[in-house]
Amino acid sequence: MKKILLPLFLLIYCCKIQAQKIFEKDYTKPEATEIAEPKPKIVAPGIGNAPPSDAIILFNGRNLDNWVMSKDGSPCVWKLKDNVMTVSLEAGDIQTKQKFGDCQLHLEFRIPANVKNTTNPNNAGNSGVFIQERYEVQIFDSYNNETPLYANGQMGSIYKQVIPLANASSKPGDWNTFDIYYTAPRFRFNGTVEKPATITLVHNGVLTLNHFEIQGTTQYIGIPRYEPHDKAAIKLQSHGSEVSFRNIWIRAL
């Protein structure tokens, strides 16, 4: 028995000494709070309108190859002219071929200056960016515009969920920029929500949504609700107005 206990005692003693070396630090020294690894990956920032070096280019004006029609997955038939992609009113929504979760998304868009480029004057500039095909960041003509009557449906809202902190809209015919920072929802094994999705939006350089907790899938009628899902596409909405897009890129986080 003694022969067994002695090696066991030595093993326990050695483990205790090793644990003390790992967990007991002298916090009077600066190196006690310094972490050496892992180092952040190197990402070269874009210069001017160029994207960062690790960005996935979704649209650079050359072709529509990264997009398909949402209704059936067929090739994108929106208009392409002068390095700009424009909604085709009769064609419907489009979405990316690739699927994403947490991301940083940059896109530039232009509401038509001519109100005739819409099927309904009340839809002037109406479009939207759907993150993971479900959560809509509203695009609308909110420049000196009182419509829609509900403020949680104006430019930069999470549609019918939150009023933007500011209205930074450019006038129709001028370009707008959305920089979106998004964290996807997390679901438990049984489909319930562990963490809701969050979104921060910088519109034309102005912070308009600050880490807002998305309440669920965008609903035109009814209360938002979550449904379990995995990564999904970025979708651009066709909603009765010839909104144009350019310079779209995304960083998967």
Domain check: are 76 and 19 in the same one?
Answer: no
Q: Percentage of the chain with pLDDT > 70?
A: 85
Domain count, the chain: 2
Show Cβ contacts of residue 161 under 8 Å, excluding neighbours closer than 6 positions: 152, 212, 214, 215, 218, 224
- Sign of the alpha-carbon dihedral angle for 238, 239, 244, 248: negative
pLDDT computed for residue 148 by the predictor: 59
Top-confidence residue, 33 or 196: 196
Q: 205: how many CB neighbours lie within 10 A of its CB?
A: 8
Q: In the beta sheet, which residues pair with residue 135? A: 131
Residue 153 lies in a domain: yes
CATH number, residue 220: 2.60.120.560
Cβ atoms of 131 and 123 closer than 8 Å = no
Residue 39 lies in a domain: no
Residue 44 lies in a domain: no
Domain check: are 69 and 179 in the same one?
Answer: yes
Ramachandran angles phi, psi of 125, nearest 5°? 75, 15
Residue 185 lies in a domain: yes
Which tokens go with 237? 């909405």
Domain check: are 234 and 145 in the same one?
Answer: yes
Domain check: are 21 and 87 in the same one?
Answer: no
- Domain with 64, as residue range(s), is 56-252
């420049």: which residue's tokens? 143
SS3 of residue 3 by DSSP: helix
Domain check: are 29 and 126 in the same one?
Answer: no
**Spatial distance between the Cα atoms of 109 and 203, rounded to a whole number of angstroms:** 11
Q: Which whole number is the average pLDDT over 200-222?
A: 97
Domain check: are 89 and 191 in the same one?
Answer: yes
Residue 38 lies in a domain: no
Domain check: are 23 and 112 in the same one?
Answer: no
Domain check: are 193 and 69 in the same one?
Answer: yes
Which tokens go with 186? 């997390």
Domain check: are 143 and 220 in the same one?
Answer: yes
Domain check: are 151 and 72 in the same one?
Answer: yes
SS3 of residue 123 by DSSP: helix
Give long-range contacts, CB 8 A cutoff, 24+ apart: 141-144: 141/111, 141/169, 141/172, 142/167, 142/169, 143/111, 143/169, 143/170, 143/171, 143/172, 144/171
Ramachandran angles phi, psi of 217, nearest 5°? -60, 140
Which tokens go with 104? 């940083």
Domain check: are 207 and 122 in the same one?
Answer: yes
pLDDT computed for residue 33 by the predictor: 87
Domain check: are 125 and 189 in the same one?
Answer: yes
pLDDT tens string 29-54: 888 888 989 999 999 998 888 999 99
Q: 43: how many CB neighbours lie within 10 A of its CB?
A: 11
pLDDT computed for residue 79 by the predictor: 97
Q: Which whole number is the average pLDDT over 236-252?
A: 96
pLDDT computed for residue 26 by the predictor: 79
Q: In the beta sheet, which residues pair with residue 128? A: 138
**Spatial distance between the Cα atoms of 244 and 109, rounded to a whole number of angstroms:** 5
Residue 49 lies in a domain: no
pLDDT at residue 116 tops 70: no
pLDDT computed for residue 6 by the predictor: 47
Q: Which whole number is the average pLDDT over 125-129?
A: 94
pLDDT computed for residue 32 by the predictor: 84
Residue 48 lies in a domain: no
Residue 50 lies in a domain: no
